[in-house]
Amino acid sequence: MTPGRERRSFWRVGPESTWTTVLPVAFIIVSLLSLVVLPLVVSNHTATMRSEITKVADPARRGVNQIQIDLSSELDKIIAFQVTGQEQYRREYEALYAHEEQNRRLLQKLAPQMGTEIAGSINDFFIASAQWHAAVRQQEFVSRKLPEEVFLARLFEKHPVYESSLRSASDLEAAIQGSIEDRLARIRDAERLNLSLTMILTMLALTSALLVAGLGRQMRLLAREAMRRRQEAEREAADAKIARTAAEHEERRAAFLAAAGQELAASLDLPQTIARLARITVSNLAEVCVLDMRQGDGTLQRAAIAHRKANGEATMSKKSGQILDTPEAIANVMKQHAPRLIGTASTIASYFGMESPHPILVVPLVSRGETLGVVAAIARADHPFTSDDVALFAELARVGSLAIDNARLYLDSQQALRAREEVLAIVSHDLRNPLNAVKLGASLLAHSDAISGDDREQLEIIDISANRMADLIADLLDVTRLEGGKRLPIEPARVEVEALFVEAHELFRSQATANGIDLDYEIEHGTPPVYADEHRVMQVLSNLIGNALKFTPAHGTIVYRSKPDRDGLVLFSVADSGPGIPRENLKDIFNPYWQAKRAERMGAGLGLPIAKGIVESHGGKIWVESEAGKGTTFYFTVPADRDAAGTPNVRRAAESPAPR
């Protein structure tokens, strides 16, 4: 700009203007007006064609389709009437004919709006259909039951007319569908044309703007920079406002759900939890709420009712506790696991127990993939349900489902706990008393001189079996304590590891020799005595060695060892050369009653769970390492005696003195 010259906007058009300014401005104005007007014109045109589709063509197509379905069913009704002579088939035919007449009147009404070609097809169809129905009346197909030969002859004669009416209906439907597709194609062409013209006009506007900008580059840059900064500020302010509003909304929503979840989780009483969910729904979202729980046979039972008005709740309370007939709409909600707004049909009103002018929002209660029931609500008169309300209600139902499921699981666990205690009482009292009587009787008979040698052998079998039963009862009691979350009772004292190993060796030596298995033990130098319950630790060793004997083949080896471990513990291990345990079974071997396939019927599957409970009662841990085909090694730790001196111990089983 020349100094001292008046500054002038390049947008102003006057005597000094040239084509370099007037023409680009005119292009911009025309382009912008076109960008405004063109979409309106195209939109109006496409809206008109869509209206023709939805209000004329689509209803006509559905009407023709229904007529075609009715025509297909007419022949079945005529044949059924002529075969059986039953009046119901005549009535069904007449109902189909009346339905066709209704659809024909609809087509007759819509025909003038669908063009001459479609109107001609409709007229052809009317003629063919009228010929078929005239033939039905003239041949007395539904007037009376004809002799079979006469009926078949007349039907054969008039069947081409029937086929012609069906073809006419099919051709008419195809013509209407073609008309619909033609309109849709024109809509797409108009939209593509609109898009192309919009792009062209946009490019013209941009080109013109660049030409104008070239005349006053500095002013344009300054204006653009100012505009950019203002837009950024406005956008940042708008984004901040939106983010703040969304955060406040989400915070209120999260606070509500957290408070609801806390209130629902405050009690594990099932009826109280169900009633609280209904009351929370009414207090925050709805006018009325009912909650129905699914029973074992799939029916629904009214479990809770909540109403903003006390008299309204009293009116609906007559359905409380009743088994309800589930409407199809409610059943679909439970099947689809999705919330749904349902209209106020008579079946829904009867199910709900009251009339409602508003749709009913029904949400399934689902937990762990299982449908627990449904919760249904009616909106307040001054606040109909919105999409946010539906999402919030669904989330509240999810939180409520978890709380109800937890309460139900707690109830089941309490019942199972009571059943377990009853079983424990039976095992500890009712079963042990007769078993003690059996053992006492066998012991008395064993000292009688009147018992023969063969009978005395049977007494020994009875005594062995009774002892086995006593051990099994003790195992059951131990497992029951462990499943109840209790530790097994122990009486720890100073125990020499060598004494434990020698006793175990003598206990299983005969069985190992009979099976051709080499049984050995090792005590590492410096292994201290342990501070443990001798009987319980011996029980662990016996279980592990006994299991090893079950699975180790002939000529195999079993070695159990001990050595000092860190943190004041003694590490024990029992290793065998058996087939090993598959990797996928390692996680199950300490579960009660689980057995490997080869060990089926070899025991009750309680030894390893009890061994785990014993070790953990001592403050130690037990684990296993195994690989298929390479044997198995069990490890467990027991606290060392704090006062032990840690003197050298025996190295091998062969080096230990024989027990007295």
382-423 tens-digit pLDDT? 788 888 888 888 888 898 888 888 888 888 877 776 776 666
The whole-number pLDDT of residue 357 equals 66
The whole-number pLDDT of residue 114 equals 75
For the cut 50, the answer to whether the pLDDT of residue 599 exceeds it is no
For the cut 50, the answer to whether the pLDDT of residue 655 exceeds it is no
The whole-number pLDDT of residue 30 equals 74
The whole-number pLDDT of residue 649 equals 40
Could you give the CA distance from residue 526 to residue 524 in angstroms, rounded to a whole number?
Answer: 6
622-636: pLDDT as tens digits: 999 988 888 999 999
176-228: pLDDT as tens digits: 788 788 878 888 888 788 788 778 877 777 776 676 666 566 666 777 888 88
Hey, what are 270's tokens? Answer: 């099932």
The whole-number pLDDT of residue 275 equals 86
Hey, what are 183's tokens? Answer: 């309109």
Whole-structure pTM value: 0.38
Judge contact between 612 and 622, C-beta under 8 A: yes
Q: How many degrees, rounded to 5, is the angle at CA 37 between CA 34 and CA 43?
A: 125
The whole-number pLDDT of residue 421 equals 65
The whole-number pLDDT of residue 271 equals 87
How do strand 340-342 and strand 323-324 relate by DSSP bridges? unpaired
Could you give the CA distance from residue 511 to residue 225 in angstroms, rounded to a whole number?
Answer: 96
For the cut 50, the answer to whether the pLDDT of residue 646 exceeds it is no
pLDDT band of 600, cuts 50, 70, 90: very low
3-state DSSP assignment of residue 430: helix
- For the ranges 113-127, 294-308, 446-460, the maximum mean pLDDT occurs at 294-308
The whole-number pLDDT of residue 563 equals 93
The whole-number pLDDT of residue 633 equals 94
pLDDT band of 75, cuts 50, 70, 90: confident
> Taking the mean position of all CA atoms in its chain, how far away is CA 107?
47
The whole-number pLDDT of residue 246 equals 79
The 8-class DSSP code of residue 317 comes to: G
